[in-house]
Structure 1
Amino acid sequence: MDSGLKRTLEQKVYAGERLTRDDGIVLFGTDELAWLGRLAHHRRTESYADRVTFAADRSIDAGEIAYGRAEDPAAHLVDAVLNLREDLRPPSVTLVKEDGAPAEALRTFAVARLLLDPAVHLTADYASHGPALVQLLLNYGADDLAGIPSGERDEEGTPEQRWRNADKRAVELDPGQELLELIWDAGLRPVERDASYGVVREYDAPAPLADRRAVPQKVWA
């Protein structure tokens, strides 16, 4: 990508302009994933600050795009996102990984975030991405997680109790606390939601970066 086009795209993103199909195709084709991630994270942070919502179930009326097997992945993603954008209805768009390398997932989420309108949540399907990739996606445009084990909450409502009796159809987590730590370690704040994006519980903000790095970082496998 030449420097002039790169500056033009940056200006459109930082000005909050809607990107076009051609913009999306160009962005998907770049190898500068760190730059692409910065743009997507800027858009994500403008709308949702440091909050990451999560739930066992996907939101009502959510749009869904599966990726990783299309012959033309750029056109497949961009056209699917723009169709949902014009639909004006879905409160969120869930991306489900069918195949592909982690770099493709990062590129896919970043471009989707840049094309979607700010009010639309970008949801990472936990079951198809797994914890290590999900944590990276939180810095590439994703602001919501779904497809996470659910459990019955008892009177105390602790994370461990909330995630007890995990749904075997989803990826199993160590009871609740691991999910919270995954989000905190990404420098973000966990917010449990219901299927309509109502807040169930908002957790503390993450510890300062220096404090988080003072102890060995967990490897999310």
Structure 2
Amino acid sequence: MDAGLKREIEAKVSAGERLSRADGEALYASDDLVWLGGLAHEVRTRKNGDKTFFNVNRHLNLTNVCSASCAYCSFQRKPGESDAYTMRIEEAVRLAKEMEPAGITELHIVNGLHPTLPWRYYPRSLRELGKALPGVALKAFTATEIHWFEKISGLSADEILDELIDAGLESLTGGGAEIFDWEVRQKIVGHETHWEDWSRIHRLAHAKGLRTPCTMLYGHVEDPRHRVDHVLRLRELQDSTGGFTVFIPLRFQHDAAGDPRNRLMNQPMATGAEALKTFAVSRLLFDNVDHIKCFWVMHGLTTAQLALNFGADDLDGSVVEYKITHDADRFGTPHTMTREDLLAIIRDAGFRPVERDTRYREIRVYDGPDPARRDVPTSIDA
């Protein structure tokens, strides 16, 4: 990138002016990570100061049986496979109750597109889980699942969302987005939910008062221009609805175990530098969403800490057994982090931890790092 364009982009960022598609592509073409990180950190600090958000959550996958066969997925199983499972609602409630002592504030539920489970299973599951965990936000179902529910129920997404909200749904999840560009999407996605339906469903959810995350799966067969296009589509939708709370770049995980379900298992993963660049450019382009999350499970703890200086201001939560990634990941990422672990990691990176709820309302602001420690080199956990 020539010096003139650098100065032009710097001036836009400093003035809070919206960056263009051409700006986004130019940013991806730059390998000046220090410069990119500095720009993104300027925006991150303007929006959130030294705060880094997290929540105490758990993930629950009711079934891994799925009618889709997405090229990147090692989680899905077909009916009859030995490790396919579908929980009875009573089993899901029992597992949820086991999570209660951790003081969770959010239960995150994502599933396969089960070919024979009846639609009524899903709102009933929410109702029973809500009874079991009063006060815990139910963040459940991707737009892809809502689209699937339309198919199996004959109801519209409007009716489905109304029933799920009545059953206790507080937020959709952001999954199913992957990369919206059709050139890429047709190579990686094995279901029928594409940009038109994904955006339609989130628009409906926002109109009903739900606030949702949005995501992008990067580092597989896409080019940087596809990432820019993806973010700009979401930015335009956010201009219209204002309903996105956070943007989450998700790093594609190839399958080190060689599971043939993951047809991209030999595709190299994005490097740490590419991950940091993706966070920085996302922060700079997505000017109308307050938060950028680094999901530590998919990036590792070292990259997650560094991402906090490249535009990210959220590390997700305590998680516990995120099967969708861990069915592919063999790189030693832990299954869980305690509240104390998250506090230590955030402080070690030089930020002030803030525990939040699903809508990013602050539950507790913690003390920041000891200023004296910044003068002493400290190790970053791998």
Tell me the CA shift for residue 174 of structure 1.
5.4
Listed as ranges, the matches of 1:181-220 within 5 Å are 181-208=344-371, 210-214=372-376, 217-220=378-381
Please tell me the residue identity of whatever aligns with 2:360: Y
Task: Report what 1:43 is aligned to.
Answer: 43
| Runs of at least 5 residues in structure 1 that lack an aligned partner in the other structure | 151-166
For 1:117 and 1:70, the matched residues in 2 are separated by: 26
| Distance change in 2, residues 1:4/1:22 (3 Å) | same
Q: Percent identity?
A: 44
Q: Secondary structure at the match of 1:62?
A: strand
Per-residue CA distance 1:120-179 (angstroms, 9 max, x = gap): 311111210111110000000001121x325xxxxxxxxxxxxxxxx2227434533222
Whether the 8 Å CA contact 2:321–2:336 is kept in 1: the answer is: no
Whether the 8 Å CA contact 2:348–2:380 is kept in 1: the answer is: no
| Runs of at least 5 residues in structure 2 that lack an aligned partner in the other structure | 58-105, 109-138, 140-170, 172-211, 253-268, 324-333
For 2:379 and 2:344, the matched residues in 1 are separated by: 9
Task: Report what 1:156 is aligned to.
Answer: none
Please tell me the residue identity of whatever aligns with 2:381: W
Task: Report what 2:283 is aligned to.
Answer: 113
Task: Report what 2:190 is aligned to.
Answer: none
Please tell me the residue identity of whatever aligns with 1:168: E
Larger radius of gyration: 2
Tell me the CA shift for residue 119 of structure 1.
4.0
1:142 aligns with 2:312: yes
Task: Report what 2:257 is aligned to.
Answer: none
Per-residue CA distance 1:27-70 (angstroms, 9 max, x = gap): 01101010000000000000000001112357731111111113
For 2:313 and 2:275, the matched residues in 1 are separated by: 15
Listed as ranges, the matches of 1:120-131 within 5 Å are 120-131=290-301
One of 214, 225, 228 as aligned partner of 1:78: 228
For 1:137 and 1:204, the matched residues in 2 are separated by: 21
For 1:112 and 1:219, the matched residues in 2 are separated by: 24
Task: Report what 1:103 is aligned to.
Answer: 273
Listed as ranges, the matches of 1:13-52 within 5 Å are 13-52=13-52
Tell me the CA shift for residue 187 of structure 1.
1.3
1:169 aligns with 2:329: no
| Distance change in 2, residues 1:90/1:175 (3 Å) | closer
Per-residue CA distance 1:70-118 (angstroms, 9 max, x = gap): 331x112111111111111311111111121001001000000000125
For 1:14 and 1:118, the matched residues in 2 are separated by: 15
One of 246, 254, 262 as aligned partner of 1:92: 246
Please tell me the residue identity of whatever aligns with 1:188: F
Question: TM-score, with normalisation over the residues of structure 1?
Answer: 0.85
Question: TM-score, with normalisation over the residues of structure 2?
Answer: 0.50
Listed as ranges, the matches of 1:54-69 within 5 Å are 54-55=54-55, 56=57, 60=171, 61-69=212-220
Please tell me the residue identity of whatever aligns with 1:44: R
Tell me the CA shift for residue 211 of structure 1.
2.6
For 1:67 and 1:120, the matched residues in 2 are separated by: 21
For 2:374 and 2:35, the matched residues in 1 are separated by: 25
Whether the 8 Å CA contact 2:47–2:290 is kept in 1: the answer is: no
Whether the 8 Å CA contact 1:123–1:143 is kept in 2: the answer is: yes
Please tell me the residue identity of whatever aligns with 1:182: I
For 1:18 and 1:134, the matched residues in 2 are separated by: 26
Whether the 8 Å CA contact 2:215–2:247 is kept in 1: the answer is: yes
Whether the 8 Å CA contact 1:121–1:144 is kept in 2: the answer is: yes
Alignment length (residue pairs) = 201
Please tell me the residue identity of whatever aligns with 1:82: L
Whether the 8 Å CA contact 1:43–1:118 is kept in 2: the answer is: no
Whether the 8 Å CA contact 1:173–1:179 is kept in 2: the answer is: no
